[in-house]
Amino acid sequence: MILKVLTFGTIALLVLLRLARTRFGSRLLGVPQRVLEIVFLVALLLAGVLAVVFEQWILVIVVVILLVITGVEELKRRSAKSAGPSGQRTGRARP
């Protein structure tokens, strides 16, 4: 029973940390957004390890889903950063 409560509490905490990573959350908390991203990734790693140790498979699934979403967001951010201000990628011109 206690393990179930801790599992759902951890899921709620991870979701709250995920929401806090936004620009609004970082402004509201007064913490740089990069710091919140690092805290979120560390919390995901810790929750994932503990979920495997205690065999809480629902938490493992939530951690994996959040990691995939975070990875996709980072890839989108990097591809947008490499694109120029006009929305086209920088680099060689096409003939």
Question: pLDDT tens digit string along 15-53?
Answer: 999 999 888 988 999 999 999 999 999 999 999 999 999
For residue 64, which of 56, 81, 1 has the smallest C-alpha distance? 56
Give pTM, 2 decimals.
0.78
CA pair distance 67, 44, nearest whole angstrom: 8
Across 50-79, average pLDDT = 93
84 close to 90: Cβ distance less than 8 angstroms: yes
pLDDT of residue 69: 94
70 close to 21: Cβ distance less than 8 angstroms: no
Please report which confidence band the pLDDT of residue 92 belongs to, taking 50, 70 and 90 as the band edges.
Answer: low
